[in-house]
Structure 1
Amino acid sequence: MTVDSQGTAAAAPQDAPGRAAEMPNTQKGQPPPSGPEEVLQPPRGRRSLPAGVLPYLLVAPALLSMAALLLYPLIRNVILSFQQLDRKEFITRETVWTGFDNYTKLLTDPDFWTVVVRSVLFTGANVFLIMVLGTGIGLLLNRLGKKMRLVLSLSLMLAWAMPIVASVTVFRWLFDEQFGVVNWLMRTLGFSGYEQHNWFETGLSTLTIIAVLLVWGSIPFVALNMYAGLTTIGTELYEAAKMDGANGWRTFWAVVFPNLKPFFMITTFLEIIWIFKAFAQVYAMNAGGPDRASETLPVFAYIEGVGQFHYGMAAATSVLTIVLLLAAMSFYFRLILKQEEEL
């Protein structure tokens, strides 16, 4: 390259194309490209699942387990309810189809309807006590200090965690005729006639003891969940109610209940299901006695099947029990759908 002015002028055009190639389009006054942006393609060898399939794959193991453990036995039980399977058929292994005879016998049996009414009343009384006492203890947990709340919570957890057979054994000892603590306490308080009082003499007294056991074992579930729900309610709502002059009862119905209405609904129906199908507590306490006067529907089905060798009749009883529970649950689902429509 020469140093004269012509050489300098001649060198400039040779370097210009290289610099122009390095300049972006925006600096050259040209608009950016309007074509579509480059889409990243997944690496070869990996295929993505269709949209919406992954959630079903994740819940498939649980659904298959429920089908194997619940659905298949339910179907077999329904089939068995249309058969006559007594001691003879059980030994000879012959299948005798009877249609709706088992259901007809049950629905026309006054003893069956006595057990149904007893089960409904027993469930209603227990659920009412559980919800009232559990709600009260939940409110108490919300008011206590940290140390007392911890002590009460641990006590509730211990009661809830106790095995059913162990708790039934403790209650039978408490109400024992000869060495029971309750008889000793009644005599200590000055009541007469409790030297060797039999608390399991009648069906009503037996069901009362079973109810105490069920309420004692169910309160922790309601109380702890109630306390957890109360922690979600803002303190400003309580302060506003206090400024309006609302007392404790009015604050509960105006602040607590509206905010925890879903909790009360689901907990109530869960307790209905749990109490209605309670079997171990009723049977282990007194085997449905005396004279089958404390039987509920699950115990009635068990005694008809295992005790009397009427397995077809027992299967029909269990199917009718499921129908009653479904009727109660349908009422719950109607409330849920109505609440969703209001929202």
Structure 2
Amino acid sequence: MTVQTERPPTGPPDVVKTDGRPGDPGKPRERARSLAPYLLLLPALAATLVFLGWPLVNNGMLSFQNLNMRQFILHLTEWNGIDNFKEVLTGEDFWRVTGRSIAFTAVNVALIMVIGTLVGLLLARLGKRMRTFLLVGLVLAWAMPVIAATTVYQWLFAQRFGVVNWVLDKAGWHSMADFDWMGSQLSTFFVVIFLIVWMSIPFVAINLYAATTVIPKELYEAASLDGAGAWKRFTNVTLPYLRPFLYATTFLEIIWVFKAFAQVMALNEGGPDRLTEILPVYAYIEGMGNQHFGMGAAIALLTIVILLALTAFYLRIVLKQEEDEL
């Protein structure tokens, strides 16, 4: 007696299709894939909330308190509502420092972007050896710590033993042999601006040079065949490719320069006679120096609001220009 048995299939197993119904194993897998990016962002989000969110909330709470040395020692909490903001906004010092900070930022950002763009274009035209030499110098200037750079500039512009005064004296300006660069508002701002621009140019130049490497060379060849000169090639070929980079870099420089604290504070502590204070230094001196901690917190919060307003104004201009170009 012969028993027939069913032969097992020799081909590949049937593919099981899923349609997302209850019990379908494909739905949890798709859900896990969709949640993966958000799970990867959780560590960065948690670090942002801990190191940025909580200090901002704590600063906001301090701005509504009357917190001086007495309250600080006795651990007293005296809420005074918006009195700190009223006192700051109705005083002349705050608006004077705000105008000074905006002008200070505008001058620095303009110089940084113009000089940085020129250096970046120069890098694109140099040979390999000279480009490497210049890149090394830019990276060293960029990598120098702020306080170390400020200390070097204090020595360079020192009144009695400074290198700058010695060079100017040897060049024929004998009246500059004993010049006090920190003795007036304009000369102090000159040194501070010189320092900030010197430290910020490498970022703009190196990134702009990197942006020029993605411009197709065929466009320059076509422009040359059409008889375009150097300026025409820059405005019609180079600038359109670099415009998004210039917008983003200007935005970053506005933020970095506006909140510059270490350079101004370490160089001359906002002097002489508090004439070179910008908003971050003003907030520190009022809060820590004069021990008006609630007042300093209010000034710091208003500084953030002003910076956000300037950023929004700049982004609005950029977006409007992009819409006009479309």
Does residue 258 (structure 1) correspond to residue 265 (structure 2)? The answer is no
**Residue number in structure 2 paired with 1:104:** 86
C-alpha separation between the residues in 1 aligned to 2:314 and 2:108? 18
Once the two structures are superposed, the pairs formed by residues 9-88 of structure 1 within 5 Å of their partners are 37-39=14-16, 48=29, 49-88=31-70
> 1-side partners of 2:252 and 2:191: how far apart?
22
What letter corresponds to residue 176 of structure 2 in structure 1?
A: Y
Q: Give distance in 1, aligned partners of 2:208 and 2:295.
A: 41
Distance in 2 (CA, whole Å) between partners of 1:106 and 1:250 is 51
C-alpha separation between the residues in 2 aligned to 1:255 and 1:115? Answer: 42
TM superposition shift of 1:332 = 4.4
C-alpha RMSD over aligned residues: 2.6
Measure, in 2, the Cα distance between the counterparts of 1:155 and 1:187. 28
> Identity across aligned pairs (percent)?
52
How far apart, in 1, do the equivalents of 2:159 and 2:193 lie? 19
Distance, in Å, in 2 between the alignment partners of 1:182 and 1:259 is 40
* Aligned counterpart in structure 1 of residue 179 of structure 2, from 169, 193, 197: 197
Give the Cα–Cα distance (whole angstroms) in 2 for the partners of residues 309 and 336 of structure 1.
41
Per-residue deviation, residues 235-267 of structure 1 (Å, max 9, x unmatched): 111122222322222222211121121101110
Amino acid at match of 1:164: V
Structure 1 residue 280 corresponds to structure 2 residue 257: no
Greater Rg by CA:
1
Give, in whole Å, the separation in 1 of the partners of 2:233 and 2:299: 45
Alpha-carbon offset, residue 269 of structure 1: 0.7
Once residues 115 and 289 of structure 2 are traced to their aligned partners in structure 1, the CA distance between those partners, rounded to angstroms, is 37
Which residue of structure 1 aligns with residue 307 of structure 2?
A: 325
Q: Kindly state the Cα deviation for residue 40 of structure 1 after the two structures are TM-superposed.
A: 7.6
The offset of 1:333, in angstroms, is 4.2
Q: CA–CA distance in 2 between the matches of 1:195 and 1:148?
A: 35
Q: CA deviation at 1:334?
A: 3.6
User: Residue 230 of structure 1 is aligned with which of 192, 199, 212?
Assistant: 212
What amino acid does structure 2 have at the position aligned with 1:203? Q
How many Å apart are 1:174 and its aligned residue? 0.5
CA distance, structure 2, for counterparts of residue 241 and residue 109 of structure 1: 58
Structure 2 Cα separation of the partners of residues 126 and 341 of structure 1: 28
**Is residue 2:142 matched to residue 1:160?**
yes
Equivalent residue pairs, number: 312
Q: Distance in 2 between matches of 1:259 and 1:174?
A: 39
Give, in angstroms, the shift of residue 336 of structure 1. 6.4
> How far apart, in 1, do the equivalents of 2:225 and 2:301 lie?
54
Taking structure 2 as the reference length, the TM-score comes to: 0.89
Residue in structure 1 matching 2:224, options 239, 242, 248: 242
When residues 203 and 73 of structure 1 are mapped into structure 2, their CA distance, relative to the original with a 3 A threshold, is same
Q: In 2, distance between residues paired with 1:106 and 1:243?
A: 62
Paired residue secondary structure (1:294): coil
Q: 1:148 aligns with which of 130, 146, 163?
A: 130
Residues 166-181 of structure 1 aligned to structure 2 (within 5 Å): 166-181=148-163
Matched AA of 1:303: I
Alignment partner of 1:220 is 2:202: yes
Residue of structure 1 equivalent to 2:21: none
- Unaligned runs of 5+ residues in structure 1 are 1-16, 25-35
Task: Please report how far the alpha carbon of residue 51 of structure 1 lies from its aligned counterpart in structure 2 after TM superposition.
Answer: 4.5
Residue in 2 that maps onto 1:124: 106
AA aligned to 2:218 is E
Amino acid at match of 2:91: D
- Displacement of 1:85: 0.7
**SS in structure 2 of the partner of residue 325 of structure 1:** helix
Distance 2:168 2:315 in 1: 46
Q: Give SS of 1:52's match.
A: helix
- Deviation digits for residues 116-147 of structure 1 (CA, Å, limit 9, x no counterpart): 11110010000000000000000000000101
Alignment check: 8 A CA contact 2:168 2:177 kept? no
